[in-house]
Amino acid sequence: MDCPMDKLRLEQLANNDQEIERELFRVFFKEVDLYIRIMIKAQVSKDDVNWKETVIRFKAAAVYLGAVHLADFLSAITEGANLSNEAKTAQIKVALREVGKVKEFYEQRLKSTGSENCD
């Protein structure tokens, strides 16, 4: 499995404390839900400024947590504010797929000690 997370970054953030790590992911997934809703609203209303600002915030959250693949994808679409609604729909779907990989990583980490994730 190509690891969706920078484990070193996550371990540094959480200081190897599972409670802190759980809280980091809880906050991240709550933010993701908000960002996706705002992106959809911006797409429907054709608000390119709000789309771009939200993608940038979403990317910052991904970078902070160490969700490297998601951050890379969001970086690539930051400039895509002037795309068609169909293209934005496709980008939202890819972002959700990448978020799903982060959730899978997290769920596997909860089941294990965390060290064997993505090795």
Question: What is the amino acid identity at position 33?
Answer: D
Q: Examine residue 1 and state whether it is found in any structural domain, yes or no.
A: no
Residue 4 binned pLDDT confidence (cut-offs 50, 70, 90): very high
- The enclosing H or E element of 45 equals helix 18-45
Q: Examine residue 117 and state whether it is found in any structural domain, yes or no.
A: no
Q: Examine residue 119 and state whether it is found in any structural domain, yes or no.
A: no
Q: Examine residue 19 and state whether it is found in any structural domain, yes or no.
A: yes
Q: Examine residue 72 and state whether it is found in any structural domain, yes or no.
A: yes
Q: Examine residue 116 and state whether it is found in any structural domain, yes or no.
A: no
pLDDT tens-digit readout, 38-95: 999 999 999 989 999 999 999 999 999 999 999 999 998 886 667 888 999 999 999 9
Does the pLDDT value for residue 113 go beyond 80? no
What residues make up the domain containing 54? 7-111
Q: Examine residue 97 and state whether it is found in any structural domain, yes or no.
A: yes
Three-state DSSP at 86 gives helix
Number of domains in the chain: 1
Residue 115 binned pLDDT confidence (cut-offs 50, 70, 90): low
Return the structure tokens found at 82: 């002037």
Question: How many residues can be counted in the chain?
Answer: 119
Q: How far apart are CA 108 and CA 71, in angstroms?
A: 20
Q: Examine residue 92 and state whether it is found in any structural domain, yes or no.
A: yes
Does the pLDDT value for residue 116 go beyond 60? no
First to last CA, the chain: 8
pLDDT at 1: 53
